Amino acid sequence: MNNRAELRSLIETANQTVLKTFQDSRPVWFDVRPAIEALPGMTRDTILHAGPPIEWSRMCEPQRSGVICAALFEGLADSESEAVAKIEAGDICLAPCHEHGAVGGMAGITSASSALAMVRDEASGAVGCSQLYQGPRGQLRSRDDYDREAARQWRWLAEVLGPVLQAAVRASGGIDVKHITAKALQMGDECHNRNSAASALLLMEILPWALRARMDPASLRDSLAYLTGAEQFSLCVSMAAAKATADAASGVPHSTIVTTLSRNGTDFGIRVSGLGDTWFTAPANEVDGLLFSAEWNADDTVPDMGDSAIMETVGLGGHVQAAAPVLQQFVGGSFQRAVQLTEEMRQITVGALQDYRIPNLDFAPAPAATDIRHVVRTGTTPIIDTAIAHRKGGVIGAGQTRAPLDCFKKALRAFFDTYVPATEP
């Protein structure tokens, strides 16, 4: 009993440490670099994907197709069959973005030459990276699409947009992502499915620096025109920021706070601060939402996919649903429903972010730091705002889903396996 009380006390202290790391985090977008330069442990023959680790044979179709395209793009194989053979032989290495300091939206395919936004949490020094938003043109649908246009778009991101953003961001001395996030929450974004405000604010921040950079005028014009039309652009920067914050909060002994929520279209995986790098997985749920065209139906979709749930991990996205009632239009909800979801998230979190306020809740702070104990006790899992992927790849809708409860149950069991013996001699 005494040991139980002691453990509880250790947990509370550890969780407050994690919460404080979330609160104190000061993410600054400081660079754009190719993955091979940006990511620790990255190699030319590594291809990263979203979600927890997964064997090639269990990978969902869009992720497999993305990996093959990346192998072709990087010159690791000359044909689809050669790519598959090399993957199966282990000559092409697959690994989660999350295990290389990165996060990737949807399939999350990140290879050596992918241009990445790099964000540093100035409070902790932790760095998070994310592939640049690939735009509607980059919405890979199939191998044919790859041959037709995705390869061109990837090259453009690496060779045109990447260098323009690199020059602008470096010249700026760093873009304060926390400031933009706080403002965006007052402008109808929850910074996962809705990024209209943050994308505009980000563009306005970098514009003066981009104009001053010594860039080829056509590249500059193309890049800025692309950004003015890319309402979801800021998500890649927000995700990199959230990754830096979450990594800074990882590895705090005894903490029961979630530091990763992530999906690969097959499994949903979580990691917990006090349990280090261990993944706890369960089958990914389907996404409830709206498909953007009548040509598709539920059979065309894959389950929940992408590292973008890093936003919910740090208390944004679904956690601040009340800030973005517009998103309820995807799920036939209402303003009241949005408010209710944020209040629900308060039941499974241990604190709130004073810098991130929700005007529609009279400026109440965003609920943050999800505690696996609260999730298991209440049976309420994080609500995830997310896009919906076509099973051949590409974004075809948007909506909401839940993290599966089993991940949290497994993690809580492991937590007691890890910590209870140590406190009961």
Q: Which residues bind its own copies (CB under 8 A)?
A: 183, 186-189, 196-197, 200-201, 203-205, 207-208, 211-212, 220-221, 224-225, 228, 325-326, 329, 334-336, 359-363
With left for phi above 0 and alpha for psi between -120 and 50, is residue 379 left, alpha or beta? left
Contact 331, 77 (CB under 8 A): no
CB 302 within 8 A of CB 60: yes
Judge whether 160 and 153 are in contact, CB under 8 Å: no
What is the Cα–Cα distance from 44 to 113, expressed in whole angstroms? 8
Give the C-alpha separation, 149 to 18, whole Å: 43
The minimum distance between CB 404 and its own copies, in angstroms, equals 30
Smallest gap from residue 50 Cβ to its own copies (A): 29
Nearer to its own copies, 220 or 407 (CB): 220
Please identify, using beta-carbon distances, which residue of 14 and 224 lies nearer to its own copies.
224
- List strands edge to edge, sheet with 395-402: 288-291, 395-402, 383-389
CA distance 36 to 21: 28
Q: Which is nearer to its own copies, 104 or 325 (CB)?
A: 325
Distance of closest approach, residue 114 Cβ to its own copies, in angstroms: 26
| Tokens 């919910």, residue located | 312
Q: How far apart are CA 279 and CA 310, in angstroms?
A: 14
Decide whether 322 or 407 has the Cβ nearer to its own copies: 322
Q: Which is nearer to its own copies, 211 or 422 (CB)?
A: 211
Query: In terms of CB distance, is 107 or 398 closer to its own copies?
Result: 398
299 burial level (CB within 10 Å; 0-12, 13-18, 19+):
exposed
Question: Residue 319 or residue 357: which is nearer to its own copies going by CB?
Answer: 357
Q: In the numeric block, which tokens belong to residue 398?
A: 């948007």
Q: CB 207 → its own copies: shortest distance, Å?
A: 5
Each residue of 192-206: b (16+ CB within 10 Å) or e? bbbbbbbbbbbbebb
Q: How far apart are CA 1 and CA 14, in angstroms?
A: 20
Amino acid occupying residue 172: S
Q: State the nearest-atom distance from the C-beta of 165 to its own copies, in Å.
A: 15
CA–CA dist 263, 381 (Å, integer): 15
Cβ proximity to its own copies, 4 vs 183, nearer residue: 183
CB of 155 to its own copies, least distance (A): 22
CB of 40 to its own copies, least distance (A): 35
- What backbone torsions phi and psi does residue 423 show, to the nearest 5 degrees? -100, -5
